[in-house]
Structure 1
């Protein structure tokens, strides 16, 4: 219904020859500095499988897949170029996820966080539980590309998790400069 309302509000010139509106994401492509380090991260931390890549490509790269998610990586054309053009996100931008990133839904954060800890890595952002009980955390690959991991809680477990991360002092605000609100004050003692 909302999409129909939006289409009706657009000038006819814009709606006349619109391409098909149904899409699905095929892949995310990232420029990386080290294919081996990237492979280790996406395969051994995030659980992706390396898949076939077209053999007629003349540039270095790799393709990874986990479920319906594909990540394609290509090696930078000039060594050091990537680090010289890094976006330089601030701590608060990373902590709240207000940065370039792609997101994947997972069944549990723990396997990913455990694999990161084995490598001396920690999450760079989150946790936060959104209004629809989706918890968000952010991690970074070896080149600093940010990946948001999402976990869907039930209303009861999501409400309990909000209180837990608030009480632990690890909950993050919705954006830099905002305060973390006590979930008991905002949402009450039990889920709605």
Structure 2
């Protein structure tokens, strides 16, 4: 694997995500009235149904499915599924509002080094996963060198064991 070279494409930020939906109207209602996005102008040259929304520094482009009846609909809320995550001010307030709106959700907690992160997961009208969290309490720690190549605790443990073996061999 090649070593990271910083920002080879000179990226600046995430611009938008695109979501294929059964009904642009239902999805617009959800993203506006549940998540607080607002509609923005969409280029008239686009020759398919859709809508653009914006909020929190990111755009959401809703694309009407050509065959909406063929879109699979996820029913089970699985925090390990593809999702977009939003930081919130109050997890208590979010959970209260989801209950008021009768939106099914799943709760999860992550703990790292004594820091607890609370998460709520739920679906948009088409089954796309949304996460609301207080993730800003978890520090962002860049990985460097060999550790950056590790994608799991198992791999990290293997690397630590290999490093210990290398140290022991160097001492001989």
In 1, distance between residues paired with 2:93 and 2:44? 33
Report the 3-state secondary structure (helix = DSSP H, G, I; strand = E; otherwise coil) of the residue aligned with 1:56.
coil
Q: Cα 1:40–1:114, aligned 2, differ >3 Å: closer, same or farther?
A: farther
Q: Residue 82 in 1 paired to residue 71 in 2?
A: yes
| Larger-gyration structure (1/2) | 2
Report the 3-state secondary structure (helix = DSSP H, G, I; strand = E; otherwise coil) of the residue aligned with 1:130.
strand
Task: Tell me the residue number matched to 1:140.
Answer: 123
- Structure with the higher strand share, 1 or 2: 2
Report the 3-state secondary structure (helix = DSSP H, G, I; strand = E; otherwise coil) of the residue aligned with 2:53.
strand
**8 A contact 1:103–1:149 mirrored in 2:** yes
Task: Tell me the residue number matched to 1:6.
Answer: none
TM-score, with normalisation over the residues of structure 2? 0.65
Tell me the CA shift for residue 153 of structure 1: 6.7
Gaps of 5+ in 1: 1-8, 156-192
User: How many residue pairs end up in the alignment?
Assistant: 135
Tell me the CA shift for residue 80 of structure 1: 0.7
Q: Cα 1:113–1:21, aligned 2, differ >3 Å: closer, same or farther?
A: same
Gaps of 5+ in 2: 139-172
Query: RMSD of aligned C-alpha atoms?
Result: 2.8
Task: Tell me the residue number matched to 1:128.
Answer: 109
Deviations along 1:38-86, one digit per CA (max 9) or x if unpaired, are: 1111000111111111111111111111121211110101131213xx4
1:100 to 57, 78, 82: 82
1:40 to 26, 29, 43: 29
